[in-house]
Structure formats: C-alpha cells, structure tokens
Structure 1
Amino acid sequence: MTHPSSAPSDTGRHSGSHRPDGSDGPDPRRWKALAVCLVAGFMTLLDVSIVNVALPSIEKGLGASPSDLQWVVSGYALTFGLVLVPSGRLGDATGRRRMFVAGVVVFGVASLLCGLATTSSLLVAARLLQGIGGGLLNPQVSGLIQALFHGRERAKAFGLLGATIGISTAVGPIAGGVILSLLGADEGWRWIFVVNLPVAVAAVVLALRWIPAHARAEGEQDGGGADGARRRRTDLDPVGVGLLGAGVLALLLPLVESGRGGGSSTVPGWVAAVGAGLLGVFVLWEHRYSARGRTPLVDLGLFALPGYASGAVVATVYFSGFTGIFFVLTVYLQQGLGYSPLLAGLAVTPFAGGSAVMSAVGGRLVTRFGRSLVTWGLVLVVVGLVATDLVLSSVQGPATGWWAALPLLVAGLGSGMVISPNITLTLAEVPVRRAGTAGGVLQTGQRIGTAAGIALVGTVFFAHLRHDPADAAAVSLRVATGLVVLSLLASLADVWLRRRSDQQGRA
C-alpha cells in the first residue's frame, strides 16, 4: 500500500475524480468503493499480527514444531510480498476490480482452509495461499484510489488508507486475544481465520456493485491502442517473477528450517548461496529485459532516484527487526509467564498503539524535518527496545508486562516516526507514472524483510527456549534490536550523504 503523503497532489485540478467512463465529474460510487477497499485491506493486514497470540494454541492443537510456527507467520508475509509487484502489473493490464475480487476470493478460501487444517503442514500451506490472496488485492487498493480520486479528495483517501494500516497493526494482538478468550484456546485459534469469511463474501458482493469495472488513474494511457493493450497483457516478465521468488525462497529456507528440532536445519546452507546467485541473475535479467524495450518486473531505474534506494534499505531492514518483537513477546508471555492470549495481546499493545498514533503526527512533520525525523524515530525505537530488554532480564513473573509497557510505548512512538515518514520520503521523487511500481517494490521489500526477520529472530528464540524462556526472549530481542540499529545506520548514512550533496551544491 502507498502512504497518503506519497500520492500525487494534482494541484491546480478540480477536487473530484473522473468517472470511470472518462466523462467529467466525480464518480458517485467512489467513497463506497473506497470503504470496500479499506475493509478488505484491513482484513489482510490484520492477519499479519493477529495470529501471533494464537501460536501457542496452534502448537498445542496441531503439534506444530518451532519451524512450523515460524512458517505460519513468515510464510504469509513472504508470499504476500512476492505477489505484490506482479499482481499490480496484472491489475493494470486486466482490470483492478477483477484482480481485487480475485484476491479477496483467494484470501477467503485460504482462510477457511486455515480454520479447517488438521495438520501443521496443511496450515502452513493454507497460510502461504492466504498471503497470495493478500498480495493480489492490496496493490489494487492504491491503484483504485489513484483512479477514483483527485486533488484534496485523493489526499484524504490516502490518509484513510494510512490510518487503516496503523489501526490494523494495533488491534491485531487484541483481536486475537479476545477471540481465543471467548472461544477457548484449544479451538479458538481456528476462528481467528474463519472470521474472515463473512467479511470476504461481503467484500466480493459490494466490490462488484460499487467498484467501477474499468478505472484508470490520471496519466495512464492506452500505450498504442490495441497493440499497446496486447503488450500490457503479455509483458508481465514471468521469468523475472520466477527468479525473484526462487531466489528469496532459497535464501530464507535454511534460516527458517534451522528452527526445527535442536536448531539443526533440514536444508543445507549452500541453498542460501544458490538463492543469492538467483537474485544476481534476476538483476541481470531485469537489465536485459529493460534494454530490449520491455517492462521489467522491477524497474531498476527507480533505485537511481534521489532517496529511493536508501529509503528502501531503511524500510526492509527495519521491518526485519521490529516485526519479530511481536512474535517473540506474545509467545514468551504465554509459554514463559503463563499469560492468557488476551493478556499477551494487551501487553504488546503499547508498541502498536504508540505507532498508530505517531504515524498520524509523523505524516504532518515529515515535510518539516525530512530524513532527520526518521533517524530520531529509529533512535527512540532502539532506546525503547534496550529498556524492554532490561525489563525482561530483571523482572520475572506476571508483573513483566506492566514493567515493559512504558519501554514498548517509547519504541512504538519511535516506530510511528519511521514507517509512514520513510515511505513519504522514499517516494517523494518518484514520477506519477512510476508511483504504483515504486510503491509495490517498496512494500515487497518490507514483506521480505518481515519474513526474514521473523525467521532469524524466531530461530534464535526457539534455540534458547528449552533452556530458559526469559533468556530466550532477551537474546532474540537483542537480535531484533541489532537489526533496528542497522536500519538506523542506513538512515544516518542517508542524512550525511544528503547534507554533503547540499554543501557541494551550494559550493
């Protein structure tokens, strides 16, 4: 999804949106269509965090291994991220409503399969399919906003989208805890997935009624009549899709599988080297594909734009760090300290709530402070995580959650100064015609970072869990903190390079 501040402003144009048939005037269905899009997007993003509080119940109910639990979380993020860019291309070529509906259907069916899973392997497979559904529909949301809204209305629509992203992260652990508390830990975890079904059915029905069948953003052209249309349908870079997916999977498999058993991986380490090689081939292929006049899966020229490459690095590394925090704390609080799923969800709420609140404030401050705002946000996250580590190391028993609340709130407030402002700064120099691709690539990096981070942090956590749960939580939290520190160093380097460039320009 694209952040509101990255949406084109369309200054000087009218404040409505064109009808999908090309006539002037705002489409009367646009706000209803937006509501459908936001509800569906909320549903898919909620499933990133809602499942964390259910992991101990899933482990007990299905006899899931540590590796299975990691795949339940990171597998969803991985397939979600891998599908984003190609599904955005398909939406441009075949129609955004069609892809949106297809994504909701896949997500709904996968949610049912998750709820009916009788083995951990079936649950992991269903979660992978669920991630594909989320990745299919999410790029269509920002594309439809660009198509249906202009000027101030577009900024407002993207603002609502940003709020949806923040709220879904904040309420996920609490929602999961409430469901498990009401329906029981043994079978309640199934309803965390099944509850998506009525939402998915309603979203499909209302999407077919309210979302225009053919919605094109301002500035999108036919690209050469019938020939251009045929080219858009076929120029989907399937080789690039295959190389990217195979490379990332090969990189992550040894890491995730190392959480099985006694920390020994069932996948040899050389598979990761093969993955790195495949990603190198992917970059070469994209260069060649672009040189032939075709449209590559990832427009590598984006990384030459000011601030894009550095912002993408900050986002990817940061997501690899902070998402593992929820995974570790919700499992530790339940298995190590005997918290109920609801209390575990409430215990991590200060981080998510602080992040959601500060995201709205950070969006207004980013134009004034720029990259410095992101850098100071990362500093706050590191300070909050270090303080949380001190709490886990010195406080034992049920009071741990209370003592950790303030440090987690500080870290969450810092996180709100990082995610949304970083997206705004990263996409600031991207031309409107490349905004969709740029946003898709950026979010893909975030999802891959999420999957890799949970795999790494989860492996460390489960390797220490059998010896000392408190030590396992503290050590894995330090790994997550280290990843955030790497993101901070990348942001500091970007600030230094920008100031150096400004000084050279003035000289």
Structure 2
Amino acid sequence: MHSSPSAEPDPQRWRALWVCLIAGFMTLLDVSIVNVALPSMEHGIGATPADVSWVVSGYALTFGLALVPSGRLGDDYGRRRMFLLGLALFVAASVLCGAAPNATWLVVARLGQGVAGGLLNPQIIGLMQQLFSGRERGKAFGAFGATVGLSTAIGPVLGGLLIQGIGVDQGWRWVFYVNLPIGILAILFGLRLLPKDARSGRKRTPDLVGSVLLGVAVVLVMLPLIEEEEQATAPRWWLMGVAAGLLVLFVLWERWLGNRGKQPLVNLKLLTVRSYSMGSALGMVYFAGFTGIFLVLTLFFQQGLGYTALQAGAAMLAFAIGSAISPTIGGRLVHRFGRPMVVLGTLLVAIGLAATAWLVREYSGANTAFVLAGPLFVGGFGSGLVISPNSTLALEEVPPAEGGTAAGVLQTGQRIGSAVGTALGGSLFFGELGRSHGDYHSATALGLIGSTALVVLALLFGVVDVLLSRTRKRRSTTQSAPPAAVSGSVSGLAPAETASVSLTSLETHEVRRTTTGADNTFALDAPAGTYLLLVQAGGREPVARHVQVGAEPVREDVGLARSVRLTGTVHAIRGPFPGAQVAVLDAKGQVQRVTVTDEAGHYTVDDLFPGEYTVVVTGYQPVAEPVQLTTEGPARFDPLLRLVSADKA
C-alpha cells in the first residue's frame, strides 16, 4: 500500500522542485527565445514567411492540443514516467530543430517539440501538487510563476546573444541546441530526485478523435492566413468553412462521449458555468491578440530598422518587465476586485498596443526602441493583470472534481488562440509589406492594429461579464430573499483580519464563497442539501464541518486557532549537537514537519497548531518525547542525545 496524502513529506521535494522549474523554464524559454531568431532562420535556410509563422504558431498549436490528454496520461501511467519521457522527447526534438537542413524539416521538428512540451507541462504542475501542500504549495507555485516571468524576459536577450556571438547563418540553430545540456541535466537529476510513481487503477483512453478534429479545424483556420503572407496564390478562404463544419463535428463528438460517461477532450458541461465560459473566451481571444505582437515587432526591429538580434531582444524587454511586475499585484487584488481588475488590465494592454502601433507608423527618427518602451511597458503591465487573474476567476466556480480538466481546457484554448493570433499577425504584416513594397512601418502598424482589435474584443467579453454579474446581483437584492441558509461568526481573528468561508455541495460540487465582515460574521445562501463548510485564515488551522441545510437557517460559529512555533536546542554529552534530524508527529503518528539542527544545535518548527505531538530526534540513539502545544506562545523542547554504546554499558 502507498502512503496517504498526509504521510511524511518527501525529504527531497525542494530539490525535485528545482528539476521541475528547470524543465518548465526550458519549455517556456522556447516560446520567447525563438522570436528573435526568425530573421536568422530566413537568412540561414531560406525560410519563407509561411515557414516562419509555422515555426511560431505550430509549436503553440501542438503544445495546446497535447495538454489535456497528457495530463490524463500522467494521472494514469505516472507523472515521473511521463515527465522524463516528455523531457527526453523535448530534447530530441530540439536537436532535430537545430540540425534542420531545410524549412520543412524545421517546421515538422518544431511541431514535435510542441507535442513534447505539451506532454511535459502538466507533469510539472502535477508533481508540484503531489510534493507540496498548504503554505509550501503556495511557495512552490510562486517559484514557478517567477520562472515563467524569468523565461519570458531572458528569452529574447539570450537568443540575441547566441545569434550575435555565433553568427546570423548558424546562430539560430543554437537557440535550439541550448536545450540539450539543460535537458540532459534535468533528466539525470529527475531520475534521482523525482518521487517514484505509485500504481494506478483503471487506465483512461485519451480522446484522440476529439484532438484530431479540433487540431485539423484550427489548422484549416490558419492555412488561408498563412497563404495570405506568401501572396503567391489566392488564399483558400473556403477552408474556414470546412473548419466550421469540423468544429460542429467536434462538439457533437464531445457531447456523445460525455453522455456515455467517457473522457472527452472538453467537458462541455463546464461551459454552462458562466464565469468559466466567459473567462475561457476572454483568455483565448486575449492570447490571440497579444502573442502576435512578438513576431511582428521582431521582424520590424531586425529587418525594418536593421537591429541585431540582441538589440531586438533588448528592445522588447519593456513588455517583459511590465508583465513580470504586475502579476504579484494582481494575485493579491484579484479576490477583492474580481473581473473589473481583469477589464482594467485588458484596457491597459489595448491602450499600450494602440499607442505602439501609432508610434510605429508616425515616428521615423532615432532611438525607436526607447520611444516604444513606454507603451510596451504599459501593455506588459496590463498583461500581468489579465492572464493569471483571469484564470483564477474562470476556475473559481468550477466544481473541485473538475478543476484539473477545466484548467487543462483553459490552457488549451489559450494555446490555440496564440497559434491563430500569430498566424493572423503574420498575415497582416506580410500582406501589407507586399502591398506597400517594403514599408515596414505601415506593415508593423497594421499587424499591431490587428492584435489591438483582438484585445479590444477580449475587453468586450470582460465588460459583458461584469455587467451580467452586476445584473444578477441587482436582481438578487431586489427580490425578497429569505434569511441566509448558513450564517455564523468566526472567533480568534486579529483586528481587521478576515477569514475566507466556502460552502461546497456534496451532491453537485457547486461552491459558494464569502469572507467575514468587520464584525467577524459571515452569511451564505444555499438550497437544501448536504454541504462542507470550510473556514480558513492565514496562520491558523482550517476548520471543516458537515452542514445539513433544510427549511430553517443554520447557525455555525467557528473558532480558529493560531499556529504556534516549536523551538529548542539538541544537546549531546559534549554540548550542542548540529545536524540532528527533528521530526514532529501528530497524535495519529503522522509526520507533520521535519527539520535539521544548525551548527549551534538549534532548530525551529513553524506552522504547527495547538495539540499533542511527539518530537523524535535522531543523531545517536533516537529520543522521542511528547509535547503539548498551546496558543499561549512558542513552545520549547531541548532533548539530550546519548551514544548507543553508553546506554548499553
């Protein structure tokens, strides 16, 4: 039998996290680093504008289509196994990309690299959820968020350095070869540090038919857009009609699978949750808008203004810096302001892109990169207020049992949006470039206007969602509603501190949430049924209760206990003992915390809750003593270790 989730945490979990972060950094780096290498690819192997679009958008497309099936493969066959497989395939595909003798080889290898990245990414998230819980999980995901921002900012500059150092003809190859040493190190450390896979139960068959239908439909949407870039033949716009028919077949197929209790690629029932459907639509359209700017601006800086790859990468740093600063702010404020904050972020992006488009068209003086830095920073700052907060709000009302699938579908929509948006941006750019006989200013401005239009469409989705939410709240307040089904008070909070309260239906899994008011009380409406009431506040042990809601209101008063600290010094006969392992077990014998004494023999264990524990110290002969923790203040336990031989004597 394998251990329960509450068993002793993996002692190598933080080292394993570094393996996950390195792999995540590598796959995300390949999104941003390639953009500055596109002109080098055109020069080195004669890639056409259509080839360039496929290199960027093809990766996003296959990456997105692989996400949901890969998440289920990790659940069924083991996350460690799928992580290492995805990592090995990603490295192999990177080598094939770097060794490409022609553009067709490069595009096919890039599509394979996207599949490998889509296989790898869900395992990273799954391993982090498996290895960490509570506050540690928050820290782990915070580190992953920082990795995302770092890879976005470093990618263009690193790509520019490689191309400038190695040369325009061959430098683009090292944009892919750089993954080889990183990937090999990650595989070696992953074999050693990642937790072994436990045996799983029934294997679920991935929805390959749904993946093919959706993938072909998106490709048929992209094809005429990419053909427009070539301007060699008339674009086959009728393919979009075929794509619409395939999308209808995809919806019918997904519904058929869902009605028979099987595992569809997209659970269509999720789209009945308004916040999720609106958030998914906003995310897909927004990603279609803002991702296209990187292709257009890269070509503008390098081919239009004659910048080197390094200069072009540095010129786009303003957007990356803005998008790295604001997510922390958005994460703190999203639950206070909700969708209006996402609307504000989308508005900032639209303003930033529109201003960039205007300046590109009208300004032809020196130091263009510095002139564009301001509006690009505004756009990047707004982007950070959109992406993560929108995902948080979209998943907020999704039943917990569907959370993983919903998140995967949300990311798939974003990747498909990225693929279509990049193709659209390239189509507008190269089309205008041909019509204007090489006017890069007008071509870039048109591409940016197209991106701005898509961002404005995403903005409209956000505004509609806000208006619908306010209309629903207004209707609920004007009706003579009965008293709240569940109400109560929360004791143990500090002045001005609030607690989050959630009420989850055990029949429908629908979640209702609120926070305590100034008087530390809460109230939630709910129909009759059985619920799980969960009350949480920072630094306190959560309280969960079963609640039966009937015709009469239910009162539940909750007391939250503050977490306490256990400290001490481990001594041996000769004095303080460094390097001793201190484990804290709860009343059930399950390990809650593990630490090691420092050079002075001191140890500190935080985030324990009042109750009875057993402290086990190992160094020489193990020592185990009961400890009673209370809310009155930090507890202290100073054990004495003895040599085994001395005890036997």
Counterpart of 1:279, as a letter, is L
What secondary structure is seen at the aligned counterpart in 1 of 2:266?
coil
2:444 match: 473
* CA-CA distance at 1:202 after TM superposition: 1.2
* CA-CA distance at 1:168 after TM superposition: 1.5
Question: Contact conserved, 1:20 with 1:214, CA < 8 A, in 2?
Answer: no
2:23 match: 40
Moved more, 487-496 or 248-257: 248-257
Counterpart of 1:190, as a letter, is R
Equivalent residues in 2 for 1:15-94, closer than 5 Å? 24-94=7-77
Supply the distance in 2 between the matched residues of 1:263 and 1:413 (Cα, whole angstroms): 40
Question: Contact conserved, 2:72 with 2:204, CA < 8 A, in 1?
Answer: no
Cα gap change, 1:385/1:209 in structure 2, threshold over 3 Å: closer, same or farther? Answer: same
Counterpart selection for 2:466 from 495, 498, 505: 495
Root-mean-square deviation (Å): 1.6
The percent of aligned pairs where both chains have the same amino acid is 55
Counterpart selection for 2:353 from 363, 367, 385: 385
Equivalent residues in 2 for 1:50-449, closer than 5 Å? 50-214=33-197, 229-230=201-202, 233-262=203-232, 264-265=234-235, 268-449=236-417
* CA-CA distance at 1:397 after TM superposition: 4.4
Moved more, 64-73 or 277-286: 277-286
Moved more, 422-431 or 83-92: 422-431
Cα gap change, 1:138/1:392 in structure 2, threshold over 3 Å: closer, same or farther? Answer: same
4+ aligned runs moved over 6 Å, structure 1: none
Supply the distance in 1 between the matched residues of 2:320 and 2:206 (Cα, whole angstroms): 37
Counterpart of 2:339, as a letter, is R
Supply the distance in 2 between the matched residues of 1:133 and 1:235 (Cα, whole angstroms): 19
1:455 match: 423
- Gaps in structure 1 of 5+ consecutive residues: 1-18, 217-221, 223-228
2:457 match: 486
Cα gap change, 1:304/1:177 in structure 2, threshold over 3 Å: closer, same or farther? Answer: same
Supply the distance in 2 between the matched residues of 1:42 and 1:208 (Cα, whole angstroms): 18
Question: Contact conserved, 1:143 with 1:436, CA < 8 A, in 2?
Answer: no
* CA-CA distance at 1:21 after TM superposition: 7.0
Supply the distance in 2 between the matched residues of 1:142 and 1:91 (Cα, whole angstroms): 11
Larger RCO (CA under 8 A, 6+ residues apart): 1
Supply the distance in 2 between the matched residues of 1:35 and 1:263 (Cα, whole angstroms): 50
Counterpart of 1:79, as a letter, is T
* CA-CA distance at 1:435 after TM superposition: 1.8
Supply the distance in 2 between the matched residues of 1:414 and 1:22 (Cα, whole angstroms): 38
More helix by share: 1
Counterpart of 2:248, as a letter, is G
More strand by share: 2
Question: Contact conserved, 2:280 with 2:410, CA < 8 A, in 1?
Answer: yes
Aligned length: 474
Counterpart of 1:492, as a letter, is V
Counterpart of 1:489, as a letter, is L
Cα gap change, 1:394/1:258 in structure 2, threshold over 3 Å: closer, same or farther? Answer: closer
TM-score by length of 1: 0.91
Counterpart of 1:191, as a letter, is W
Supply the distance in 2 between the matched residues of 1:79 and 1:237 (Cα, whole angstroms): 15
Q: Deviations for 1:339-384, whole angstroms, at most 9, x for unmatched residues?
A: 1111111111101110011112111111111111100111111111
Cα gap change, 1:451/1:263 in structure 2, threshold over 3 Å: closer, same or farther? Answer: farther
Counterpart of 2:196, as a letter, is A
Supply the distance in 1 between the matched residues of 2:455 and 2:271 (Cα, whole angstroms): 22
What secondary structure is seen at the aligned counterpart in 2 of 1:293?
coil
Cα gap change, 1:379/1:98 in structure 2, threshold over 3 Å: closer, same or farther? Answer: same
Counterpart of 1:380, as a letter, is L
Question: Contact conserved, 2:43 with 2:168, CA < 8 A, in 1?
Answer: no
Counterpart of 1:501, as a letter, is R
